[in-house]
């Protein structure tokens, strides 16, 4: 996300605009936690995980009164446009600022789950994918005995993008996604096939939002039948949210952050900038709410062919 | 590349075809270094750098007599189709096998430089990009004194893909590509701007094929004017060719390897499978020779805006 | 562990001895899964995680009859000495072979938990430490909001070495070890101090063998009082057992593997080779059973000073 | 190094002392670039590469007048002791402050080359070692053809610690150190043995300070005889100075930084804190000048046995 902030700042300065950085999101906006920045404030930040702007939840911004204060702070500082980096929750807030007060707002998609419509990929996704894949590689190194069964839970409350691509990249024997129903007897027969017929250890990837209820719950349900195997659970959790961003994530964030400023200058508002088929594409912010991008079902089939 | 081999093997077996692995490329084919493989031969290989099939140069295959022997080996083993993973050199050989002897051949694009036409990305490119970017991140950590000038040479004999995207991802002050001419006085004035006006250290990325002649040559030419700075050269070389592949590279390789078998079954030959706009696309092998994919000039401009 | 195998093989060959590799430990020995190896069999293995010899549990070896078969296999192949790489369980088996059948046996300490007496460090420990620390670094990147509470469970069933050093290296606010009793009210008051007085997020490292019962159990016990915080659990599990070994682990393994052969040649048996104060030291195998190396209590105090 | 700064700050605060951070070393001291710090100023820094205090060269401090100004700044701020983190150059400056003005000074050893006497290991060494080793691992992945010859230059102007341990950890066929003379004909015969008899690719590690003159110079001298091989040069350079520090480096830095404050409180001055045989040890600063710690010759022999 720092790469996106840097691109917004430097593209604005390149176009001789003043730029302010607001820390802690809408909460910081309401409390006036903002300052004018120049080029060197974003030097040496592109490689950092997390975000230099920090993040925070803000209940107050959900009320018209809260947003009134927010707009006043923008006006006090002579700010007439806002670039919001985040997911559909942040975009809903931005849309209200636009609708209620005429603030120009542009959304930049940054969610780990990659389920936003209007962009092929969101900022943070490729990094999370690689982090999860590296963890699975390390587990593979110990999968040399054929009586082991690994259950690895990755992020994805509503969407299986990380689980699906990590599962393919990690060569998982079974991938459990929120998007597809898998009943326990299917899971058991798949595992039996690998563990007994192929005499291999078995690695199952589970999205946290899968209907089985996650890795721990599944391990308990498998215990009666698979108790003779050495069953191990790994829950990666927030490890997937940090780490130095991948090259691809930084280039994507640089493109989107820069495009956000360019389209503002061109007069757009209440749109999200995305990359579709390697080109910048605009999508009205309101079209991003409540929708979910579909996973690639071709990859679901590929995973079954290759396992 | 192992992910592609694995995908070819498992997709063939899924379709109840026999598969053989040929080690050391055309050299191994001529010498009969091939064996029938099953699913477990490619277990636990997807995370490995390099290639389990090893590679080798082969002069003999460039002669009609060499190819005659190669085809005979295929026939002796009842093999009627060949999947070739590599660049345009390998594809030329494959085309000759097809033309001269009617062997069905499919190309899978795997070159680090990413300059093959017919696919948005080649296998190995994303991994090389991340390796180079990580190296630059480490250099950045020491760029805290403002009198330092780093010259980092990355791969790319004819194409600047790695240099360009690494330069953006690493926040380089200057990126020197084979595709664009930069004269020495422009380079000097860019560096002066960063080092003296901005009082920052400066990082220059140079593709090995840039017309300046590489990092060492450039450092010598800069010495007279920039001798007061602490100038350091880093040549990454083959470091960029190895390392565990990224998730994206493995998913791409899995898709392409699997598609190679599918299109063979469908009756295609003398084509390369690629991914364009996230969909599998076929390109006649002969159209990949001697051509070069263009770099994205939008990114060249972006780099200038953000530096 | 591959570095140790490589060192045993190459040191034996250097001394003109024949060497055999036994796969799957004692199970492989009983079933005759062994073969003569030469120098190139261990080429290109030093950087690999896991073990090329694979591992397996073996109940049969615990019986005198099982060990009788094992010794017969050694004699059939003209093998008169055995280097056993592992922990105190493996060393007990080795000792019985020595006592009952006069086989020369040398132990090489390789356990992730680092709790073997007779060596400052065991093979695999430094790698596990770095893997756990890298995971915590990634979590830190997201610890920018001050209302977050992370509970990270690391390996260590009986020993807190990994938890202690990871906790210091990761700057954890609280470290829970099997070696020290921490009651729930102390834990709560430590967390309150960080979260409320310092207004920081808080990261707790828990050894899996801590008396609190691990990260999940602790999270449930904290919920009543800390429900207003965003509490997250991460269980690293077997991720810590794999991955490319660190330089330090490889140098240690090379030294110990080579020393194992040297001391065999010198006539020793039923000893473990270790490194104490940077020098090779021998310890009778039987002294390693059932004992546990103490953690460094100076580091426990350091952690409290620095948090 | 950030871990050492953090440990100094927190240990001082733990002992109810005021602490100031001086940026840019002696240059910052002379220019008054210092500020009082509290515990949260060093939060979230332990995992970072480089140094938050930045570094700079300072000619002025080498003069009595410069040091006079420096001491005045210390007195103006009520500072009566100085912890200096660096190598023997920095320690010489510190000693002069002590001798000439009675300032209490403690040295903390942080040099990448690891050649300081008085400590088994210096801060930064383990990280550099792992960075170089990872680079070599990646090169190994491409070393599958037997006609390749890699020359990798690592840091070490006067000392071969990095080259020696990296060479063992990376399984190099030849290691060239400043400490040992190797003539060109020995180098050639070693390479011939590996490339021709063993039919393997060959990897040579060269310390930058080796008398051969580094990787590029050596490659030119080898060209006449080894021209038929595919010879590649890699110069890692400053890549080795950055990157997130290893767990071991952070624990070492935490121990040394904390000990520096403890020994100051105990009344020591003009000493360096080191770790010898896993215990804190004090060495008079003046004994660290101009001396060089010996490499471990046992490891030199080990490298020859294992290659």
pLDDT in tens, B217-248: 999 999 999 988 889 999 998 899 889 999 99
pLDDT class for A142, splitting at 50, 70, 90? confident
A56 touches chain C (CB under 8 A): yes
The predicted structure's pLDDT at residue A145: 61
Nearest residue to C229 via CA among C198, C195, C189: C195
Asked whether the predicted pLDDT for residue D138 surpasses 80, the reply is: yes
**Residues in chain A within 8 Å Cβ distance of C147:** 57
Is D50's CB within 8 Å of B142's CB? Answer: yes
> CB within 8 A of C58, min separation 6: which ones?
C24, C25, C26, C27, C30, C66
Q: Domains of chain C (ranges plus CATH)?
A: 2-123+245-288 (3.40.50.450), 125-241 (3.40.50.460)
Determine contact, residues A271/A107, Cβ cutoff 8 Å.
Answer: yes
A214 touches chain C (CB under 8 A): no
Q: Which residues pair with C125 in a beta bridge?
A: none
Nearest residue to D113 via CA among D160, D168, D63, D76: D160
Nearest neighbour of B140 by CB, restricted to D140, D216, D242:
D242
B186: exposed, middle or buried (Cβ count in 10 Å: 0-12, 13-18, 19+) = exposed
Mean confidence (pLDDT) of chain D: 93
CB count within 10 Å of CB A111 equals 18
Nearest neighbour of D302 by CB, restricted to C130, C246, C258:
C258
Is B242's CB within 8 Å of D139's CB? Answer: yes
Angle at B64 between CA B68 and CA D148, to 5 degrees: 95
C104-109, strands of its sheet edge to edge? C81-86, C104-109, C271-276, C279-284
The predicted structure's pLDDT at residue A146: 62
Is D254's CB within 8 Å of C306's CB? Answer: yes
Is C306's CB within 8 Å of D251's CB? Answer: no
Asked whether the predicted pLDDT for residue B264 surpasses 80, the reply is: yes
The predicted structure's pLDDT at residue B291: 86
The minimum CA-CA distance between A62 and chain B, rounded to whole Å, is 34
D189 touches chain C (CB under 8 A): no
DSSP H/E element including A19:
none
Show the DSSP H helices in chain A as ranges: 2-14, 25-31, 64-76, 88-101, 125-141, 161-169, 184-192, 215-226, 247-265, 297-306
Asked whether the predicted pLDDT for residue B201 surpasses 90, the reply is: no
Active site residue C113: yes
> CB within 8 A of A75, min separation 6: which ones?
none
Is B129's CB within 8 Å of A247's CB? Answer: yes
Out of A18, A38, A80, A113, the active site residue is A113
C204 to each of C25, C172, C219, D211, D250, how far by Cα in Å?
37, 6, 11, 50, 18
What's the pLDDT tens digit per position in C193-248? Answer: 888 877 778 899 999 999 889 999 999 999 999 988 889 999 998 899 889 999 99
Least confident of B49-58, B147-156, C256-265: B49-58
What's the pLDDT tens digit per position in D234-288? Answer: 999 889 988 999 999 999 999 999 999 999 999 999 999 999 999 999 999 999 9
Q: Are strands B148-154 and B230-235 parallel, antiparallel or unpaired?
A: parallel
What is the rounded distance in angstroms from the CA atom of residue A136 to the CA atom of residue A207? Answer: 14
> CB within 8 A of A185, min separation 6: which ones?
none
User: Which residue of D251, D252, D278, D293 is the best one to mutate when testing the C interface, meaning the one whose CB has the most C CBs within 10 A?
Assistant: D251
D214 touches chain B (CB under 8 A): no
Mean confidence (pLDDT) of chain C: 93
The predicted structure's pLDDT at residue A57: 82
Is B278's CB within 8 Å of A166's CB? Answer: no
Nearest residue to D50 via CA among D17, D3, D108: D3
The predicted structure's pLDDT at residue D146: 62
D240 touches chain B (CB under 8 A): yes
D232 touches chain B (CB under 8 A): yes
A158 vs B95, residue with greater confidence: B95
C236 touches chain A (CB under 8 A): yes
**Residues in chain B within 8 Å Cβ distance of D135:** 239
pLDDT class for B294, splitting at 50, 70, 90? very high
DSSP state of B181: -
Q: Which residue of D has its CA nearest to B56?
A: D145
D55 vs B156, residue with greater confidence: B156
C284 touches chain D (CB under 8 A): no
A239 touches chain C (CB under 8 A): yes
C47 touches chain A (CB under 8 A): no
The predicted structure's pLDDT at residue B307: 86
Is C141's CB within 8 Å of A239's CB? Answer: no
Read off the tokens for A56.
Answer: 């925070």
**Residues in chain A within 8 Å Cβ distance of C47:** none
DSSP state of C240: G
CB count within 10 Å of CB C101 equals 15
Is A258's CB within 8 Å of B302's CB? Answer: yes
The minimum CA-CA distance between A43 and chain B, rounded to whole Å, is 8
Average pLDDT in the D76-92 region? 95
ipTM computed for the complex? 0.95
The helix-helix angle for B2-14 and A297-306 (nearest 10°) equals 80
What's the pLDDT tens digit per position in A283-302? Answer: 999 999 988 899 999 999 99
Average pLDDT in the B150-174 region? 95
Q: How many CB pairs under 8 A join A and C?
A: 105
pLDDT class for B152, splitting at 50, 70, 90? very high
Average pLDDT in the C107-111 region? 97
User: Which residue of B86, B131, B136, B144 is the best one to mutate when testing the D interface, meaning the one whose CB has the most D CBs within 10 A?
Assistant: B144
Is D237's CB within 8 Å of B234's CB? Answer: yes
Q: How many CB pairs under 8 A join B and D?
A: 106
The minimum CA-CA distance between D83 and chain C, rounded to whole Å, is 17
Q: Which residue has the tokens 């010198």?
A: C266
DSSP state of A242: -
DSSP state of B231: E
The predicted structure's pLDDT at residue B123: 97
Asked whether the predicted pLDDT for residue D143 surpasses 80, the reply is: no
User: Which residue of D141, D145, D229, D230 is the best one to mutate when testing the B interface, meaning the one whose CB has the most B CBs within 10 A?
Assistant: D141
The predicted structure's pLDDT at residue B48: 87
The predicted structure's pLDDT at residue D144: 66
Is C126's CB within 8 Å of D47's CB? Answer: no
Q: Which residue has the tokens 């470091």?
A: B239
B212 vs C104, residue with greater confidence: C104
The minimum CA-CA distance between B217 and chain D, rounded to whole Å, is 12
Label residue C281 left, alpha or beta by phi (over 0 means left) and psi (-120 to 50 means alpha).
beta
DSSP H/E element including D141:
helix D125-141
D46 touches chain C (CB under 8 A): yes
What is the rounded distance in angstroms from the CA atom of residue C255 to the CA atom of residue C109? Answer: 12
Determine contact, residues C167/C210, Cβ cutoff 8 Å.
Answer: no
The predicted structure's pLDDT at residue C146: 62
% residues pLDDT > 70 (chain A): 99
Nearest residue to D300 via CA among A172, C53, C258, B147: C258
> CB within 8 A of C242, min separation 6: which ones?
A137, A138, A139, A140, A141, A142, C49, C50, C131
**Residues in chain D within 8 Å Cβ distance of C43:** 171, 200
**A contact chains, 3+ CB pairs < 8 A:** B, C
Is B126's CB within 8 Å of A7's CB? Answer: no
Is B234's CB within 8 Å of D238's CB? Answer: yes
Is B305's CB within 8 Å of A10's CB? Answer: yes
Is D55's CB within 8 Å of B140's CB? Answer: no
**Residues in chain D within 8 Å Cβ distance of B139:** 237-239, 241-242
Out of D113, D115, D210, D249, the active site residue is D113
**Residues in chain A within 8 Å Cβ distance of C218:** none
D40 touches chain C (CB under 8 A): yes
Out of B113, B115, B126, B210, the active site residue is B113
Least confident of A195-199, C46-50, C144-148, D125-129: C144-148
What is the rounded distance in angstroms from the CA atom of residue D112 to the CA atom of residue A92? Answer: 51
pLDDT class for D145, splitting at 50, 70, 90? low
Q: Which residue of A has its CA nearest to B296?
A: A278
**C contact chains, 3+ CB pairs < 8 A:** A, D
Mean confidence (pLDDT) of chain A: 93
D141 touches chain B (CB under 8 A): yes
């Amino acid at each position: 996300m720092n790469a996106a902030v840097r691109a917004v700042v430097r593209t604005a300065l390149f176009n001789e605009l003043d730029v302010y950085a607001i820390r802690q999101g809408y909460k910081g906006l309401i409390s006036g936690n903002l300052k004018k920045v120049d080029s060197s404030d974003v030097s040496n930040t592109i490689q950092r995980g997390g975000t230099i702007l920090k993040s925070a939840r803000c209940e107050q911004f959900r009320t018209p009164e809260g947003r009134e204060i927010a707009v006043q702070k923008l006006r006090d500082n002579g700010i007439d446009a806002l670039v919001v980096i985040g997911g559909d929750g942040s975009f809903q807030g931005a849309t209200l600022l636009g609708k209620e007060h005429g603030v120009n707002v542009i959304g930049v998609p940054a969610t780990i789950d990659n389920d936003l419509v209007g962009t092929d990929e969101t900022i943070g996704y490729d990094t999370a994918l690689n982090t999860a894949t590296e963890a699975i590689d390390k587990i593979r190194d110990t999968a040399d005995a054929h009586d082991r069964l690994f259950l690895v839970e990755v992020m994805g409350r509503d969407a299986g993008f990380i689980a699906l691509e990590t599962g393919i990249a990690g060569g998982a024997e079974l991938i459990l996604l929120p998007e597809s129903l898998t009943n326990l007897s299917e899971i058991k027969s798949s595992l039996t096939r690998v563990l007994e017929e192929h005499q291999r250890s078995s690695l199952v990837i589970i999205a946290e939002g899968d209907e089985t209820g996650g890795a721990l719950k599944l391990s308990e349900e498998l215990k009666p039948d698979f108790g003779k195997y050495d069953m191990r659970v790994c829950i990666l959790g927030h490890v997937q949210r940090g780490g130095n961003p991948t090259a691809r994530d930084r280039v994507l964030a640089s493109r989107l952050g820069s495009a956000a400023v360019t389209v503002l200058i061109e007069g757009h508002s209440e749109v999200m900038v995305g990359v579709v088929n390697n080109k910048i594409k605009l999508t009205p912010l309101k079209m991003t709410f409540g929708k979910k991008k579909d996973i690639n079902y071709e990859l679901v089939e590929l995973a079954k062919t290759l396992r």
